[in-house]
A = this chain, B = another copy of it.
């Protein structure tokens, strides 16, 4: 495969990925909300991946990756680093295939995140915050287990898997959307969405949305190349990461820009979703709506798709 084909997978690659992952995932609902339509003067269509199996879209990329591997490659199990949604997806997909899963997670991970992973039978080991320690722990884990490493975002099968979210949204909504707005961290969902729009709804413009406190994609977009930035403890914990290389290349080529939002805007959008729509989204998932609320002029009178990426929260559960 040449470099350009690798960067920009074909329409049929996206179609095949969607077809093969479909039997294992939810076709999540698309919902509307009169209140937010009034607030924005736009028509908003919310794609609810918070109702997806494991509580986020991440299962799509993991499934697509694993279904594309030879069983010999995964017979020792699956491994990754992450304490959050990607780890859950890896652990769940491993359990579906009766494989062990190995997760390297920060020693500071919350009890409920740990409980969720154990529920899927994952084997956990911990790293501390020191530079390089995560990579050390991960490398040791891979040597010891021979498990197959599943990257959270910077891999084409992952990106293609995530494209299913926007593909389903595009197929459900007619007339076509003017824009789709997507939370961006590592950029798997953003890149997948940009590819889905390019292939299935070429007039639909894709924006990323990012916390000001973790602005790697924003800076990279403006610089026209991948730049790593420091990121602070944004409430949108799923977005505390820099954009991946492949993800960045697709972002630069196929998206219209990255919208920034402040912490309070994320928090207010989150609460308003709970309050008005009665559904639980996680802070990262509220980032795209926050960006639309912050930029009314950009979206007024338009038909906008908004991706609710997940619904996993650290609730104070007694038995978790």
Contacts and interface: CB of A to CB of B under 8 A. Distances in A.
A82 interface: no
Interface string A258-284: 000000100110011011011111000
Contacts of A280: 274-275, 277-280
Interface string A307-320: 00001010111111
A318 B51 contact: no
A50 interface: yes
Contacts of A267: 318
A55 interface: yes
Interface string A40-82: 0000000000110001000000000000000000000000000
Interface string A73-110: 00000000000000000000000000000000000000
A278 B279 contact: yes
A303 to B, nearest CB: 22
Given A279-B280, A280-B279, A280-B280, A315 B274 contact: yes
Q: How many of these chains are in the complex?
A: 2
Contacts of A264: 318
6 closest cross-chain pairs (CB), A and B: A278-B311, A278-B280, A50-B278, A271-B315, A274-B280, A275-B315
Interface of A: 50-51, 55, 112, 264, 267-268, 271-272, 274-275, 277-281, 311, 313, 315-320
22 contacts: A50-B278, A55-B278, A267-B318, A268-B317, A268-B318, A271-B315, A271-B316, A271-B317, A271-B318, A272-B317, A274-B280, A274-B313, A274-B315, A275-B280, A275-B313, A275-B315, A275-B317, A275-B320, A278-B280, A278-B281, A279-B279, A279-B280
